[in-house]
Chains A and B, each alone.
Chain A
Amino acid sequence: MDLHSLTIHQLHDLLVRKEVTSREATEALYRRIGEVDGKIKAYLMLTEVEAIRQADEVDRKLIRGEEIGDLAGIPIGLKDILCTKGILTTCGSKILGNYVPFYDGTVIRRLKEREAVFIGKLNMDEFAMGSSTENSGFQTTRNPWDLQRIPGGSSGGSAAAVAADECIAALGTDTGGSIRQPASCCGVVGLKPTYGRVSRYGLVAFASSLDQIGPITKDVEDCAILLSGISGYDPCDSTSVNIEVPDFKRCLVRDVKGVRIGIPDEYFIEGMDPDVERSAKEAIDLLKKLGAEVKAISLPHTPYAVAIYYIICTAEASSNLARYDGVKYGFRSNRYEDLMEMYGRTRAEGFGKEVKRRIILGTYVLSAGYYDAYYRKASQVRTLMRNDFEAAFEKVEVIVAPTAPTPAFRIGEKVEDPLQMYLSDILTIPVNLAGIPAISLPCGFSREGLPIGLQIMGKHFDEGMLLRVAYAFEQNTDFHLKKPPIA
């Protein structure tokens, strides 16, 4: 048995039955990383000494005969956007290349309380701005299914590591699709929770009204377990919502009889890869066969999603990233005479191309004379888009569509054309603008053997329904069991 290829629930069962120790599993993962990460380049940093210490602690508990929780002793990878006390947190950026936080983010604290084992920090597009990890300040992660292709982004390191069995599960973050699109590209499960479900305290901010932390896992059951582990109200995040967190594992009932599923015509866009369209339609047919009630619905403002998003997210980013000034922490240029030069050069040398492009765009759309034309207008159309979802959810419990218009594209294919890169997010962005939850799970393969993801969107705080539909689909298919050739 290969310990590195286990899921959370499989490893938990073995730990409880004392057939495997957490240390053995943790060491197996570091061996696996040693074998494959030279090719995949998912990790920015490994934290082996601390991981072994965490694992040993859980093993001692088991020897003493104590009970352990679902996540105890489970090796997990963390997107490098999450603040970890005493451990480098770069956010994929040179400007935070030396940043060691003196505190843990809330999700890290919660997972420590649940005695998870942290394997290391995973690569990402700089400040989570990108769909391919090509914007990382350090390295481009490769797709385990085809090393010439992108793993998706911005949580590309997390998705690739899960797909290549370099961790049992991982955390990512999703501002416009950054969990779901890489999960789709790498053939794994990824869930973006409802805005406010998971605390953002200790998450390096990109676009504060859109960012959410969520799980990237090998199957739907693991997704439910990890989501339960990180959810909940937090007084340290004023946008965190004080609402009960269900035990998401209890939502996995393998039954979709009578569940009303909406299919939005607007999501089957022109230029969509035929394999993606075919796989999604076959998935919908299967859900129907399992007893779901499938209905056509309309989300008429979908075509405006990219325009709204790149106004709102760049505006918020330009404001959030103003804090990187070389004064309090992070990188400072050494070529300056006065204060203005220190700011300008610190930011010029510390930020990469895409981050600069978005800061300029965001500063422009917020600047005097343009605010109404761009930011206000986009925020109004955002309301219309939210209304679309509200109307649809009066008729259906979930909405089903592809996660991305194409399977993983080639490295370098879209770097010179930012607008084309932005358009690859068109099917994931509306969810963030409306604040609703959505999951992506494997639903097929392209002719070249690349994974395709199915997206299920739900009502605010109804992650349970997403997991129920996703689980029923997964348990009647075997796409999630297929491993990439690197495995």
Chain B
Amino acid sequence: MKMDIEKVARLARLELSGEEKKTFENQLEQILTYMEQLNRLDTTGVEPTSHAIPMVNVFREDEVKPSISREEVMEISPDQEDDHFKVPRIIE
């Protein structure tokens, strides 16, 4: 299986160097070929497992409780202004 690595990297918001693209393309092709062995198995009608232990939704009472302090959160952010995270302009 050939992967369009440029497109996948864009989806993942990950800039890759030319060399990385080349190496990954080769390695991932080899890995994907290895994974094709799963197609030898007939899984018609088999329920997929997303959690190994049966899980149910967990609910709690909707009570007001103290949350993390804004100062502590902002303190470790890379860039901030007036209690907001600062990022490059998004809307032109």
A351 in contact with B76 given A103-B68, A382-B48, A384-B43 (CB within 8 Å): no
Contact of B8 among A310, A328, A332, A363 (CB under 8 A): A363
Residue of chain B at shortest CB distance from A326? B78
* Other A-B pairs beyond A331-B78, A360-B8, 5, CB < 8 Å: A329-B77, A340-B13, A344-B14, A356-B14, A433-B52
Q: Is the Cβ of A194 less than 8 Å from the Cβ of B72?
A: no
**Min C-beta distance of A340 to chain B, whole Å:** 7
Contact of A304 among B31, B41, B85 (CB under 8 A): B41
Q: Report which residue of A318, A360, A376 has the largest number of chain B beta carbons within 10 angstroms of its beta carbon.
A: A360
Contacts of A330 in B (CB 8 A): 78
Taking CB atoms and an 8 Å cut-off, the chain B residues in 73-92 that contact chain A are 73, 75-79, 85, 87-90
Distance between Cα atoms of A308 and B49 in the complex (Å): 11
Q: Does A9 contact B (CB under 8 A)?
A: no
Q: Is the Cβ of A100 less than 8 Å from the Cβ of B87?
A: no
Distance between Cα atoms of A158 and B10 in the complex (Å): 36
Contacts of A63 in B (CB 8 A): none
Distance between Cα atoms of A336 and B90 in the complex (Å): 13
Q: Which of A118-126, A235-243, A401-409, A441-449 contacts B (4 or more CB under 8 A)?
A: A235-243
For the complex of A and B, the 7 pairs showing the least CB-CB separation, nearest first, are A435-B52, A379-B48, A344-B15, A332-B78, A380-B43, A348-B15, A343-B13
**Min C-beta distance of B49 to chain A, whole Å:** 4
Q: Does A36 contact B (CB under 8 A)?
A: no
Chain A residues touching B, majority SS: helix
Q: Is the Cβ of B31 less than 8 Å from the Cβ of A418?
A: yes
Q: Does A381 contact B (CB under 8 A)?
A: yes
A386 in contact with B49 given A342-B87, A361-B31, A418-B31 (CB within 8 Å): yes
**Min C-beta distance of B73 to chain A, whole Å:** 7
A304 in contact with B11 given A103-B68, A310-B31, A332-B79 (CB within 8 Å): no
Q: Is the Cβ of A418 less than 8 Å from the Cβ of B37?
A: no
Distance between Cα atoms of A209 and B16 in the complex (Å): 28
Q: Does A419 contact B (CB under 8 A)?
A: yes
Q: Is the Cβ of A376 less than 8 Å from the Cβ of B78?
A: no
Could you tell me which B residues sit within 8 Å of A by CB distance?
3, 5, 8-9, 11-17, 20, 24, 27-28, 30-31, 34-35, 37-39, 41, 43, 46-53, 55, 57-58, 60, 68-69, 72-73, 75-79, 85, 87-90
Distance between Cα atoms of A363 and B28 in the complex (Å): 12
Q: Is the Cβ of B14 less than 8 Å from the Cβ of A380?
A: no
Contacts of B68 in A (CB 8 A): 102-103
**Min C-beta distance of B35 to chain A, whole Å:** 5
Could you tell me which A residues sit within 8 Å of B by CB distance?
98-100, 102-103, 194-196, 209, 235, 238-239, 241, 301, 303-304, 306-308, 310-311, 318, 322, 325-332, 336-345, 347-348, 351, 353, 356-357, 359-361, 363-364, 367, 374, 376-384, 386, 418-419, 422, 433-436, 460
Q: Is the Cβ of A239 less than 8 Å from the Cβ of B73?
A: no
**Min C-beta distance of B46 to chain A, whole Å:** 4
Contacts of B72 in A (CB 8 A): 102
Q: Is the Cβ of B48 less than 8 Å from the Cβ of A351?
A: no
Q: Is the Cβ of A381 less than 8 Å from the Cβ of B50?
A: no
Distance between Cα atoms of A458 and B75 in the complex (Å): 45
Residue of chain B at shortest CB distance from A101? B76
A377 in contact with B39 given A209-B51, A351-B14, A382-B48 (CB within 8 Å): yes
Distance between Cα atoms of A383 and B35 in the complex (Å): 17
Contact of B58 among A238, A378, A434 (CB under 8 A): A238
Contacts of B75 in A (CB 8 A): 102
Q: Is the Cβ of B39 less than 8 Å from the Cβ of A364?
A: no
**Min C-beta distance of A122 to chain B, whole Å:** 22
Distance between Cα atoms of A88 and B38 in the complex (Å): 41
13 A-B contact pairs sorted by A residue (CB < 8 Å): A209-B50, A238-B55, A328-B73, A344-B14, A348-B14, A348-B16, A357-B24, A357-B27, A357-B28, A361-B28, A382-B48, A384-B41, A419-B31
Contact of B34 among A239, A326, A419 (CB under 8 A): A419
Distance between Cα atoms of A43 and B55 in the complex (Å): 36
Distance between Cα atoms of A361 and B27 in the complex (Å): 10
